[in-house]
A and B are shown apart, each in its own frame.
Chain A
Amino acid sequence: MKMQRFNWQIWAGFLLTLAAGFSYPLFFVRFPATRGFPWANLLLFGIAAALVGLGLRRAFAPERRRSSKIAGSILATLSVAMIGLFIFAAFVVSRWLPISHGAPQISQKAPDFNLADTSGRMVSLSELLSTPIKGAAPKGVLLIFYRGYW
């Protein structure tokens, strides 16, 4: 039996789907330009899908062994699952947010609060609004509510 040549397309495509998925939390999330809409990841997924498609066609060529077809099918399935998972996370799960009707609106006064900072000291909103920034009276405060890292 003669050696069949390594189907690099299917492996490259599969590894690229992994890279495309994991590079979002590990890298692209850091940049506003690639965070909101993950176009960089979708681009990588597109290239990966093309490679997987080529690899799959090669794996199912008549002269290929059965093991090649099986491996090709498994890698293609995993790649599709990875792409599907990413799209689900990016466009479905990320929108699972409650709608806020009672949040303070423009020209309303923000409710005061008194919360502990990282050293445990209690800080009120009025204090944040009045404590000078670099020697000058603040013009405003930006409140950023975030999910937390638990």
Chain B
Amino acid sequence: MRSIEQSLDKFHAAGIRPVAISVDSPEQSRDLSLKAGYTFTFLSDPRAETIRRYDLVHAGAGDKGQDIARPAEFLLDSSGVVRWVNLTENYWVRPRPEQILEAAKALR
């Protein structure tokens, strides 16, 4: 998230809108954004419905045993078709903004 925010101008210049999605409530996401200085869109999926539709549920992995999202990133073109996807096998390892921006060059 931090690296996305730091590269936000580059994403916007490339015509890319980053959007973060988790089970956090809108209030929790607002607190996080205020605290960390995130200015891009955060969406709340508290019952993990969208997360389930994308087959990204990490069952029972929340601190109270709730279902949460496994980390994943999708780059969609303007018609909503997936052009690049990253499903990490290790949640310490996330894509770097440069990788995503490189993939974004192929979008028209």
Contact = CB atoms under 8 A, between A and B. Distances in A.
A binds B: yes
A103 B72 contact: yes
B1 A144 contact: yes
A74 B45 CA distance: 47
Interface residues of A, number: 56
A117 B90 contact: no
Interface in B1-28: 1-4, 11-12, 14-24, 26-28
Contacts of B1: 144, 146
A149 B71 contact: no
Interface string A63-98: 000000000000000000000000000100011011
B89 interface: yes
A103 B54 contact: yes
Given A94-B90, A119-B30, A145 B51 contact: yes
A124 B17 CA distance: 13
A62 interface: no
Contacts, number: 227
Contacts of A105: 82, 85
Question: For the side of the interface on B, what is the size category?
Answer: 35 or more
Interface in B46-75: 49-51, 53-59, 61-64, 66, 68-75
B32 A149 contact: yes
B75 A142 contact: yes
Nearest to B45: A115
A139 B77 contact: yes
B82 A110 contact: yes
B92 A117 contact: no
Interface of B: 1-4, 11-12, 14-24, 26-30, 32-33, 41-45, 49-51, 53-59, 61-64, 66, 68-85, 87-94, 96-97, 100, 104, 107-108
12 contacts: A106-B85, A113-B43, A118-B42, A139-B16, A142-B17, A142-B104, A145-B22, A147-B61, A147-B71, A148-B68, A150-B64, A150-B68
